[in-house]
Structure 1
Amino acid sequence: MTTHPSRRAFMACAAATLVPGRALANPYREIGWEDLIPAGVPYGQIIGPGQIDAVNDTWVPEFDANAARANETLNGKPVKLPGYIIPFDMTSKGVTSFMLVPYVGACIHTPPPPPNQLVFVRTRTPWPSESMWDPVWVSGRLSAKAMTTQIADVGYQIAAEKIETYKWQ
C-alpha cells in the first residue's frame, strides 16, 4: 500500500523549504554598549582619571588608546542598539542626524563618553522632535568608522533603517 503525505504536511514542508528560518528571524543582532568595546578591554581601561576644568566647572576625562579602538567584529553587521538622542540636524518633520549616547545627558550635561561609546546616526525617515528625549532603539548596519563632530569624537556610525521607542520590560 502506497501512502501519500497529506496536503497539510506537504504545504508545511514546502513552506519550510521555500522560506528559510533566518528570513523569519529578526535581521538585527541586539547589542549593548559594552559590545562596542573590543573584546578583552575592560571598561575601566578606556577612561583614565581625568581632571577638573575649573573655568567651566566640569570634569574632563582622559581617554587612553583603547577608548578610540572599535570592535571590528561588528563592522558592517546589522545591529540594534538602545540609547538616547543628541540631535544634530533637524527638519520640520524631526531629527535626521544625531549622536546616539548610552545615557541621558551624555555630552550635554556631562563630558562626552569615550569615542567607542558614541554612535553617529543618519536617517532618511526623520525621528519626531516631540519624541526626541525618549530612549530609542536604532537598527541598521554598524560602521566602525570614526569621525569628529562639534561635540565629541565618535567611534561608530549607523545609517538607520529603523528607529523605535525603547520599551522597558
Structure 2
Amino acid sequence: MLFIGLFLVLGFGIHQNTPQEYQKIQWHDLISQDPITPETLFVNMNLNAISDSDPMAQEMLQDILAEWANAPINELLNDHAVNISGYIVPLDWAEDRSLNEFLLVPYFGACIHSPPPPANQIIYVKMDEPLKGARSMEEISISGKLVIQRNDAAAMGVSGYTILPDEIKRYE
C-alpha cells in the first residue's frame, strides 16, 4: 500500500510539472452549434428594396448588432488551454506603443470597419506584462486559458471570450 501511495504522489508531481499543452483551435470552433445568421432576422423583408440611407436599413443594422453582441458561444471551450491566431485591435496604447489590453479578431480589418464581428468571433486579451511594440492589425498566435466572459469595448465590439495569455508568437 505504501508503494501505491508513493507512486501516486510521485506521479502527480511529475504530471504537474509537464509543460502546458494547448489545443489548436480555429475561429469557427468558437461558434455555438446554434449560430445566428442575419438572414433569419429578416426573413419576410425584401432587402434589395431598401437603400443604405433608408432609416429601416439603419434599424436593421442595429438589430443585427444587438443579436451579434449576444452571439452564442461554445461553452465546451470554457477554461481550456488553447492556441489561436488572429489580429490585434488595440484598446489602450501606452506612450511606448505597448498594449495592456486588446481584442483578438479573426480577419484583417475586423472592428476597424463597421459592423464588428459577432461576440463569438472576438476575444478580449488582458496582459499581465505589456506587449511591447505592437501594431494595429498585427497578426499573432496566442496561447493561454480561454474563458467565457463578456467584455464590451464600445465601438470596437463586444467579445464573448477572454483569453489569459501565457505566450504570444508574433509573425514577422
TM-score by length of 2: 0.69
Calculate the aligned-residue CA RMSD, in Å.
3.4
Match of 1:54? 53
DSSP-derived class of the 1:126 partner: strand
Deviation at 1:115, TM superposition (A): 0.6
**Higher helix share goes to which structure?**
2
Match of 2:161? 156
The alignment status of 1:78 with 2:81, answered yes or no, reads: yes
Within a 5 Å distance, the mapping from 1:47-126 to structure 2 comes to: 47-49=37-39, 54=53, 60=61, 62=64, 64=67, 68-91=71-94, 92=96, 94-126=98-130
- 1:32-80 residue CA offsets vs partner (Å, 9 max, x unmatched): 1000012x33xxx42304887539x999372648952111111001111
Deviation at 1:155, TM superposition (A): 0.5
AA matched with 2:38: G
Instruction: Indicate how the Cα distance of structure 1 residues 118 and 66 shifts in structure 2: closer, same or farther if over 3 A, else same.
Output: closer
Task: State the distance in 2 between where 1:37 and 1:137 align.
Answer: 19
Within a 5 Å distance, the mapping from 1:139-154 to structure 2 comes to: 139-150=143-154, 151-154=156-159
CA contact (8 A) 1:46 1:67 kept: no
CA contact (8 A) 2:97 2:134 kept: no
AA matched with 2:167: K
Deviation at 1:129, TM superposition (A): 3.0
Aligned length: 146
Task: State the distance in 2 between where 1:68 and 1:152 align.
Answer: 12
Which of 12, 25, 36 is the matching residue for 1:31? 25
Deviation at 1:113, TM superposition (A): 0.5
| Unaligned 5+ runs, structure 1 | 1-17
- 1:100-121 residue CA offsets vs partner (Å, 9 max, x unmatched): 0000111112310111111000
CA contact (8 A) 1:47 1:67 kept: no
DSSP-derived class of the 1:35 partner: helix
Which of 118, 122, 142 is the matching residue for 1:138? 142
Within a 5 Å distance, the mapping from 1:9-20 to structure 2 comes to: none
Identity of aligned residues (%): 31
Structure with max Cα Rg? 1
DSSP-derived class of the 2:38 partner: coil
